[in-house]
Amino acid sequence: MKLFKTYFISFTIFFIAASFLRAQEESVLNNLMPVPAKVINLNGKFRLDTSFSISVFGNPDKRIYGAASRMLHHLSGRTGFFFNQDYVTDTSKSDTAQFVIDCKKPGKLGLNEEESYSLNITPHKVELNAETDLGAIHGLQTFLQLLSVDDNGYYFPTAKIIDQPRFQWRGLMIDVARHFMPVDVIKRNIDAMAFLKMNVLHLHLSDDQGFRVESKIFPELTKLGSDGKYFTQDQIKDIIAYADARGIRIIPEFDVPGHSTSWFVSHPELASAPGPYKIERKWGVFNPVFNPTIEATYKFLDKFFGEMAKLFPDEYFHIGGDENNGKDWGANKSIQAFMKKNHIATAEALQTYFNKRILKILTKHHKRMIGWDEILQPGMPNNIVIQSWRGQKALFDAARKGYMGILSNGYYIDLMQPTSYHYLNDPIPPDSVLPENVKKNILGGEATQWAELVTKENIDSRIWPRTAAIAERFWSPDSVRNVDDMYRRLEIINYELEDFGTTQIKNYDMMLRRLTNDQDISALKTFVDVIEPVKGYKRHSQGVHYTSYSPYTRVVDAARPESIIDVHFRNYVDEFLKGNLAYKQSLIFWMNLWVNNYPELEHTIILSPILREIEPMSLNLKNISEAGLEAVRLISLNQKADKDWLDQKMKLINEAKKPYGQAELEMVSAIEKLIKAVKIN
CB of 372 to ligand ACM, least distance (A): 4
DSSP code, position 122: -
- CB closer to ligand ACM out of 323 and 615: 323
3-state secondary structure of 485: helix
- Pick the binder of ligand ACM from 389, 403, 527, 598 (CB under 6 A): 389
Radius of gyration of the chain (CA): 27
CB of 536 to ligand ACM, least distance (A): 13
Q: How remote is the C-alpha of 297 from its chain's centroid?
A: 35
CB of 176 to ligand ACM, least distance (A): 15
3-state secondary structure of 405: strand
- CB closer to ligand ACM out of 167 and 450: 450
**Minimal CB distance to ligand ACM: which residue?**
322
Number of residues assigned to the chain:
681
Q: Identify whether the C-beta of residue 474 lies closer than 8 Å to the C-beta of residue 165.
A: yes
- CB closer to ligand ACM out of 81 and 421: 421
Does 411 sit near ligand ACM (CB under 6 A)?
Answer: no
Does 540 sit near ligand ACM (CB under 6 A)?
Answer: no
- CB closer to ligand ACM out of 154 and 389: 389
Q: Identify whether the C-beta of residue 256 lies closer than 8 Å to the C-beta of residue 185.
A: no
- CB closer to ligand ACM out of 247 and 444: 444
- Residues from 634 through 653 that contact ligand ACM (CB under 6 A): none
CB of 447 to ligand ACM, least distance (A): 12
DSSP bridge pairs for 386: 371, 405
- CB closer to ligand ACM out of 74 and 204: 204
CB atoms < 10 A from the CB of 506, how many? 12
CA distances 466 to 187, 462, 665, Å, are 18, 8, 19
- Pick the binder of ligand ACM from 322, 575, 615, 630 (CB under 6 A): 322
CB of 159 to ligand ACM, least distance (A): 41
CA quadruple 569, 570, 572, 576: dihedral sign: positive
CA–CA dist 559, 354 (Å, integer):
42
CA quadruple 12, 14, 18, 20: dihedral sign: positive
- CB closer to ligand ACM out of 143 and 372: 372
CB of 253 to ligand ACM, least distance (A): 10
Does 576 sit near ligand ACM (CB under 6 A)?
Answer: no
CB of 453 to ligand ACM, least distance (A): 14
CB of 494 to ligand ACM, least distance (A): 26
CB of 469 to ligand ACM, least distance (A): 21
Is 323 considered catalytic here?
Answer: yes
- CB closer to ligand ACM out of 34 and 258: 258
Report phi then psi at 280, rounded to 5.
Answer: -75, 135
| Sequence-separated (6 or more) residues with CB below 8 Å from residue 539 | 453, 533, 546, 556, 662
Helix pair angle (584-606, 564-577), 10° resolution: 140
Report phi then psi at 136, rounded to 5.
Answer: -60, -40
- CB closer to ligand ACM out of 411 and 475: 411
CA–CA dist 19, 12 (Å, integer):
11
Q: Identify whether the C-beta of residue 167 lies closer than 8 Å to the C-beta of residue 115.
A: no
Helix pair angle (233-245, 295-311), 10° resolution: 50
Does 372 sit near ligand ACM (CB under 6 A)?
Answer: yes
- Residues from 20 through 49 that contact ligand ACM (CB under 6 A): none
Q: Identify whether the C-beta of residue 52 lies closer than 8 Å to the C-beta of residue 98.
A: yes
CA–CA dist 332, 343 (Å, integer):
16
Q: Please identify which of the residues 113, 307, 323, 613 carries the catalytic annotation.
A: 323
| Sequence-separated (6 or more) residues with CB below 8 Å from residue 194 | 137, 141, 246, 247, 248
CB of 389 to ligand ACM, least distance (A): 4
Residues contacting ligand ACM: total by CB under 6 A: 4
Long-range (24+ apart) CB contacts under 8 A made by 568-577 are 569/530, 569/667, 569/670, 570/667, 570/669, 570/670, 571/484, 573/670, 573/671, 573/673, 573/674, 574/673, 576/632, 576/635, 576/674, 577/635, 577/673, 577/674, 577/677
CB of 425 to ligand ACM, least distance (A): 16
HSE at residue 646, side-chain half, CA atoms within 13 A, is 13
CA–CA dist 562, 54 (Å, integer):
40
Does 323 sit near ligand ACM (CB under 6 A)?
Answer: yes
- CB closer to ligand ACM out of 290 and 372: 372
Q: How remote is the C-alpha of 560 from its chain's centroid?
A: 13
- CB closer to ligand ACM out of 322 and 575: 322
Q: Identify whether the C-beta of residue 95 lies closer than 8 Å to the C-beta of residue 132.
A: no
Report phi then psi at 641, rounded to 5.
Answer: -120, 170
Q: Which residues are catalytic?
A: 323
Question: Would you tell me which residues interact with ligand ACM (CB under 6 A)?
Answer: 322-323, 372, 389
